[in-house]
C-alpha cells in the first residue's frame, strides 16, 4: 500500500535536509583559514550556526526586527573573521558567498527528480530569496516551486512560514507532506496540520520519544518507495 492517494504535494526543508549546510560552512571557513586544523574549523562552524540560531530566536521572540539569512550570516562571518584576526576586507564577502554553496547529500538530486514525476515538489527554506536561488543552482536541486521564509518575514518553525506553502498549493494541510531532517521543523509543520516525514541526516535534529511523525525513513530513497511503492520496498515505519 502506498500513500500516493493521500498526498497531493511534498514539501522539503532544504538546509540540512537536502544539502550539507555544516559542510558548506566548513569548506568556506577552511578556504579563508587554511592553517586551521579540523577541531578549530568544527568549533567555528558551531559558533556560526549558534549565532544564526540565536538571532533567529531573538527575531521570533520580537527582540529584534526581521533580518534575512544573508544579513545574519554576514554578522556571523564578521565575528569569526575578527576573532581569527583576518584583515582582508573582502574575506567576509567571500565567506558568505561560499557558505551559500553547500553540496547536496548523495541522494538528494536524483531522488528529488524521481519524486517530481509523482508529486509537485516544493522547497521551503529559512534561507533568503537570493541565497536560496544561489544554493539551489549550485546544488542542482530542481523544484516545481522554492519558497523562502523571507516572504513571511519570519523563520521556521513560525507557523506563517509553513502557511506560505499552504497558500501556494491551495490544498488541505492533511494532503501536504513536510519532509525534514529536523524534528523541530516537523513539529512546526504539525501545528498547521501538515503530514510529516522524518529523514535522518548527519547534522539533523532527531525525534524524541514524544514525537509522532507520520513517516520515518532511513533515506530519501526509502521515503520515495513508501510514497509510490516499488519492488525494493525499504524498511520504514509509520510513527
pLDDT in tens, 116-172: 999 999 999 999 999 999 999 999 999 999 999 999 999 999 999 999 999 999 999
Q: Which pLDDT score is estimated for 4?
A: 61
Tell me phi and psi for residue 114, to 5 degrees.
-65, -45
pLDDT in tens, 173-228: 999 999 999 999 999 999 999 999 999 999 899 999 999 999 999 999 999 999 98
Q: Which pLDDT score is estimated for 3?
A: 60
Q: Which pLDDT score is estimated for 92?
A: 93
Domains of the chain: which residue ranges?
A: 9-20+102-228, 21-99
Distance CA 169, CA 175 (A): 10
Whose cell is 517530481? That residue is 116
Distance CA 108, CA 223 (A): 12
- CATH number (3.40.950.10, 3.30.390.10, 3.40.50.1000, 3.40.5.10) of 9-20+102-228 reads 3.40.50.1000
Residue/partner pairs of 44-52 with CB below 8 Å, 24 or more apart: 44/80, 44/84, 47/76, 47/79, 47/80, 48/73, 48/76, 48/77, 48/80, 48/99, 49/21, 49/22, 49/25, 51/75, 51/76, 51/79, 52/76
Tell me phi and psi for residue 61, to 5 degrees.
-85, 0
Distance CA 151, CA 215 (A): 28
Q: What would the CATH number be for the domain defined by 21-99?
A: 1.10.150.240
Q: Which pLDDT score is estimated for 60?
A: 92
Amino acid at each position: 500500500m502506498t500513500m500516493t492517494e493521500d498526498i497531493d504535494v511534498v514539501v522539503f526543508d532544504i538546509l540540512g535536509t537536502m544539502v550539507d549546510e555544516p559542510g558548506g560552512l566548513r569548506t568556506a571557513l577552511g578556504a579563508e583559514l587554511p592553517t586551521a586544523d579540523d577541531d578549530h574549523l568544527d568549533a567555528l562552524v558551531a559558533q556560526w550556526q549558534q549565532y544564526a540560531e540565536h538571532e533567529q530566536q531573538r527575531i521570533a521572540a520580537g527582540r529584534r526586527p526581521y533580518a534575512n539569512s544573508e544579513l545574519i550570516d554576514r554578522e556571523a562571518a564578521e565575528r569569526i573573521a575578527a576573532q581569527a584576526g583576518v584583515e582582508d576586507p573582502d574575506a567576509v564577502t567571500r565567506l558568505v558567498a561560499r557558505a551559500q554553496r553547500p553540496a547536496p547529500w548523495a541522494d538528494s538530486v536524483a531522488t528529488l527528480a524521481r519524486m517530481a514525476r509523482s508529486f509537485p515538489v516544493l522547497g521551503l527554506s529559512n534561507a533568503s530569496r537570493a541565497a536560496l536561488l544561489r544554493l539551489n543552482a549550485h546544488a542542482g536541486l530542481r523544484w516545481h516551486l522554492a519558497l523562502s521564509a523571507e516572504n513571511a518575514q519570519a523563520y521556521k518553525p513560525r507557523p506563517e512560514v509553513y502557511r506560505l506553502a499552504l497558500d501556494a498549493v491551495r490544498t488541505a494541510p492533511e494532503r501536504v507532506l513536510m519532509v525534514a531532517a529536523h524534528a523541530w521543523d516537523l513539529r512546526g509543520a504539525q501545528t498547521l496540520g501538515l503530514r510529516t516525514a522524518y529523514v535522518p541526516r548527519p547534522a539533523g535534529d532527531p525525534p524524541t520519544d514524544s514525537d509522532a511523525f507520520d513517516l520515518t525513513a532511513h533515506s530519501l530513497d526509502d521515503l520515495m518507495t513508501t510514497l509510490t511503492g516499488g519492488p525494493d520496498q525499504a524498511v520504514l515505519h509509520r510513527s
